[in-house]
Copies of this chain bind each other. A is one copy, B any other.
Amino acid sequence: MGEIGLNTEENIRNAAHKIFHQKGFDGTSVQDIATEAGTTKSMVNYYFRTKEKLFSEIFHDEFRNLFSSIGGFLRADLPLKQKIEKIVELDIDRLIGMPDLPIFILTEVHHNPEIVFNTMENLPVEIVLNVLDNQIKDEAAKGIIRFIKARDLMLNIQALTIFPFLGKPMLMKIFGMDETAFMEMLQQRKKEVPEIIWNSIKKI
């Protein structure tokens, strides 16, 4: 149902965000969104023309979200060890606030690549990776760490932080955790993941 005080367009946008995240593009009907927004299909089409255009707007915002916070930190003037600690803490906190963002992105990339890759703008990720690569070479030359590709380092960090959110329902079932236990585990991981990563590259 639409929030009081918001206009119809905003209600539809919020409803679409919620339902698309829950059911995915293919599982969502325009009627679902209209009902959730407390209005009609016609209104959805009036404001957004097609289901696909509406989806693209939502997806575009979410996709930018995915790459938002990290960029700044990777450029900052900090030793690698502290960067890793900050990235993990920031990422886990951010994902706690939007826990089904990763699965939303992944499913749509897999099921509707045409829509998704049209929506994606060019990401300036190479530059950030280069900055990180240089810092790694620098600290490796000083004997602080072994050499590792920035690509592999980021992949390992993201794997250890994001994977628990992706597998959440399965993990809870398999390991017999409730919501509280899951949250405790996440808080623990803010400390443990940076340790794992650092142990894998430190030399001293």
Interface residues of A (CB under 8 A from B): 22-24, 26-27, 100, 103, 105-107, 109-113, 117, 120, 123, 125-126, 129, 151-152, 155-156, 158-160, 162-164, 166-167, 169-171, 173-176, 185, 188, 192, 195-197, 199-200
> Chain B nearest CB: distance from A30 CB in Å?
14
Q: Given A160-B156, A160-B160, decide whether A174 and B123 contact each other with a Cβ distance below 8 A.
A: yes
Q: Given A106-B166, A160-B160, decide whether A111 and B24 contact each other with a Cβ distance below 8 A.
A: yes
> Which of A24, A171, A176 has most chain B Cβ within 10 Å?
A24
Report the nearest B residue to A117, measured CB to CB. Answer: B173
CA distance A113 to B170 in the complex (A): 10
The residues of B that contact A176 with a CB separation of less than 8 Å are 126
Extra A-B contacts (13), CB below 8 Å, given A27-B112, A158-B163: A24-B110, A100-B110, A103-B107, A106-B107, A107-B107, A109-B170, A120-B173, A126-B176, A159-B159, A162-B163, A166-B166, A195-B200, A196-B200
The residues of B that contact A185 with a CB separation of less than 8 Å are 152
- Contact partner of A110 (CB less than 8 A), chosen from B26, B103, B120, B196, is B103
CA distance A159 to B186 in the complex (A): 14
CA distance A166 to B23 in the complex (A): 19
> Chain B nearest CB: distance from A199 CB in Å?
5
B107 engages A192 (CB within 8 Å): no
23 contacts across the A-B interface (CB closer than 8 A): A24-B110, A27-B112, A103-B110, A106-B106, A106-B166, A106-B170, A109-B170, A120-B173, A123-B174, A126-B176, A129-B175, A152-B185, A152-B188, A152-B192, A156-B160, A156-B196, A158-B167, A159-B163, A166-B166, A196-B196, A196-B199, A196-B200, A200-B200
